[in-house]
Structure formats: structure tokens, C-alpha cells
């Protein structure tokens, strides 16, 4: 089975993670622009970070046979440094049009302050102007209200709910998100957000329509194999395979595909695009093409390959 992890901060992960993910069947990842664990103090560090998302990290992923996409935005935590946030807003347009940028994100509320609200709205406007999708981070604290508010503001600004992904859902938020026509993403965190066991129950109850899961693995204790592991549990608990595929692969593609930047053929073709670029660049006089490692075979569902 193939998997997409539509929310994972690979910059903070090791090559071991990339290898294990590829071996477990993860073919594509989306890396939202986020904070780095402590607040940045200069716009230059934002520029370098965003550059690495569209540049080095994308290349690094390709070395492991994984397609890397990203979302670009000003995260809610750092929106609270209003002076710096204004500077960041000025440089976002430099990056939003780049290849592999599938949405404005992750944006939204953290403490639900005035500053967060201001920059959330400004970025929704940017998405409207550029015809882009939006990936919304919902807050840890006062979650239900924060999630409702995120959707209220998006609709008020004129966004189509079908072009907005509401992330980090739980049992308390999912019904409203689905009722209002947004995409509902769930982060599988063993402790704080949503465990695999709970996710199985949600899938049983709500089905697979407009629902998908991600790991949100970052520099904290988190699990980059959360998507394939949860898929295994769903299969073990008897969920239909087509539902599992939808929740762990197809729906993420359906949600982010309309960006025009993420296509299934990107990973179904045998070489990652960047390596093809090398091929293209040297096809005439060079037999000694750059080493392109065979992509790992997509494993049939085999739990022995997964670390429990």
C-alpha cells in the first residue's frame, strides 16, 4: 500500500526516518512551514528556512525516493511578533508561486490573539488573490472554539471550504468540519493529539469521505511512521481496505492536488523528478548518468516491516 504523509516537518528529521518511511511505503510528504521550537528574530532566518523547504529539503527527500511538497506561510505562534510578522508577509510572495508549493500554510490560531487573527486573515487574502489552497493549524488550547473560529473567518473572507484543509482535528471537532464542507485532517500523535486507536474509531464512525491523517512529526517526540502504522491498525481492526487507502493516501492527494503542484505521476514514474532533470541534462553524450538508486519497491501490506 502507498502512503502520503501530508503534514510532516522533515527538516527536523534524520535520514534514518526517510529510509524507514520509504521502506514502509510513504511516497510523498508535505512539509508545512512552521516554527522551529523557538521564535525567530530576523526576517532573514525566515527566508533561509522557506528556501530550504523548496530547495535542499526537497532534494534530500528525492535521494530517498520520496516526493517532497510544502506549504508556505507565517505560523500562528510567530504571528504574535507583529513587527517581524509584517516583514515576513512581505517576503511570502517570493515563495508562494514556487514549484511544489501546494498551499498557504500552516496558518491559523494558537493563543487566538488579535495579532494571530490579523495575519491569519491577511494570509487567507493572499490565498484568495493567488488562487491557492489553505492548510489550517487548529490550536491545542481552546480547540473546539478555535477550530470553529478558523472556519468562520475563512468563510467570511470568501474561501471555498473545499479548498481549505483543517488540520489537527479530534472527536470534538470533526463533525462540524465535515458538515461545513472542509477537509478534515487528523494528526496521529501518541499522546497529545490523536492516537491510532482513537483514529480507527473515528474512521469507523465517519467513514473516509474528506478525512485523512498525518504524523505532524517534527523536532519533538513524534512518529514519522504514524500514517503507515495507523493504516496497519485499521486493516487489523477490519476496516475496508478502500477506506484505509482513502484516509492514508487518496484523500490527501485529492485535497492538495487542485494546487496543480502535486500529481500522482510524480511518484508513479520511476525516477524522482530532480533526478530526471539530471537525465535530461545529460542524455546525449553521457552514459555515466548520475547514480539514480532504484526506488524502494512499494511493499504490500506487511506488518513485519513496521516497527511497532
Nearer to another protein, 35 or 59 (CB): 59
Q: x/- site string to another protein, residues 179 to 218, per CB under 8 A?
A: ----------------------------------------
Q: Per CB under 8 A, which region of 189-197, 200-208, 240-248, 280-288 contacts another protein?
A: 280-288
Told to check if 99 binds another protein by CB under 8 A, we report yes
- The edge-to-edge listing of strands for the beta sheet with 164-167 is 3-5, 26-32, 67-72, 101-108, 134-137, 164-167, 183-187, 211-214
User: Given candidates 141, 145, 221, 286, which one binds another protein under the rule CB under 8 A?
Assistant: 286
Told to check if 50 binds another protein by CB under 8 A, we report yes
User: Given candidates 26, 29, 84, 96, which one binds another protein under the rule CB under 8 A?
Assistant: 96
Contact predicate 200/233, CB 8 Å: yes
What does the alpha-carbon distance between residue 132 and residue 204 come to, in Å, rounded to a whole number? 32
User: Given candidates 270, 282, 293, 303, which one binds another protein under the rule CB under 8 A?
Assistant: 282
Cell of 76: 500562528
Nearest Cα to Cα of residue 103 among 265, 255, 266, 211: 255
> E strands along the chain, which residues?
3-5, 26-32, 67-72, 101-108, 134-137, 164-167, 183-187, 211-214
111-to-1, 38, 123, 184, 194 alpha-carbon distances in Å: 38, 16, 17, 21, 20
Nearer to another protein, 49 or 206 (CB): 49
| Binding positions for another protein, 146-185, rule CB under 8 A | none
Told to check if 270 binds another protein by CB under 8 A, we report no
Binding footprint of another protein on the chain (CB under 8 A): 47-48, 50-51, 54-56, 58-59, 90-91, 93-100, 260, 274, 277-278, 280-288, 290-291
Amino acid at each position: 500500500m502507498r502512503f502520503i504523509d501530508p503534514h510532516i516537518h522533515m527538516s527536523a528529521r534524520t535520514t534514518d526516518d526517510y529510509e524507514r518511511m520509504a521502506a514502509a511505503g510513504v511516497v510523498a510528504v508535505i512539509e508545512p512551514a512552521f516554527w522551529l521550537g523557538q521564535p525567530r528574530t530576523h526576517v532573514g532566518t525566515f527566508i533561509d528556512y522557506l528556501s530550504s523547504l523548496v530547495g535542499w529539503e526537497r532534494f534530500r527527500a528525492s535521494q530517498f525516493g520520496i516526493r517532497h511538497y510544502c506549504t508556505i506561510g507565517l505560523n500562528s505562534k510567530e504571528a504574535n511578533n507583529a513587527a517581524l510578522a509584517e516583514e515576513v508577509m512581505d517576503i511570502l510572495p517570493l515563495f508562494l508561486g514556487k514549484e511544489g508549493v501546494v498551499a498557504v500554510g500552516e496558518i491559523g490560531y494558537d493563543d487566538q490573539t488579535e495579532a494571530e487573527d490579523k495575519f491569519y486573515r491577511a494570509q487567507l487574502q493572499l490565498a484568495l488573490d493567488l488562487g491557492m489552497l489553505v492548510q489550517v493549524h487548529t490550536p491545542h488550547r481552546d480547540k473546539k472554539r478555535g477550530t470553529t473560529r478558523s472556519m468562520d473567518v475563512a468563510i467570511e473572507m470568501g474561501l471555498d471550504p473545499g479548498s481549505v484543509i483543517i488540520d489537527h482535528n479530534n472527536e470534538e471537532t470533526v463533525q462540524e468540519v465535515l458538515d461545513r464542507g472542509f477537509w478534515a485532517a487528523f494528526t496521529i500523535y501518541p499522546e497529545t493529539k490523536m492516537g491510532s486507536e482513537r483514529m480507527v474509531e473515528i474512521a469507523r464512525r465517519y467513514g473516509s469521505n474528506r478525512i485523512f491523517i498525518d504524523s505532524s512529526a517534527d523536532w519533538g517526540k513524534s512518529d514519522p511512521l504514524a500514517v503507515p502504522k495507523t493504516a496497519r491498525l485499521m486493516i487489523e481492526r477490519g476496516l475496508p481496505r478502500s477506506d484505509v487507502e482513502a484516509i492514508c493516501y487518496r484523500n490527501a492527494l485529492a485535497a492538495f492536488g487542485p494546487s496543480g503542484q502535486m500529481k500522482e505521476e510524480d511518484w508513479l514514474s520511476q525516477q524522482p523528478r530532480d533526478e530526471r532533470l539530471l537525465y535530461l541534462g545529460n542524455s546525449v553524450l553521457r552514459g555515466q548518468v548520475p547514480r539514480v538508486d532504484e526506488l524502494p519497491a512499494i511493499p504490500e501490506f506487511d506488518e513485519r516491516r513496521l516497527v511497532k
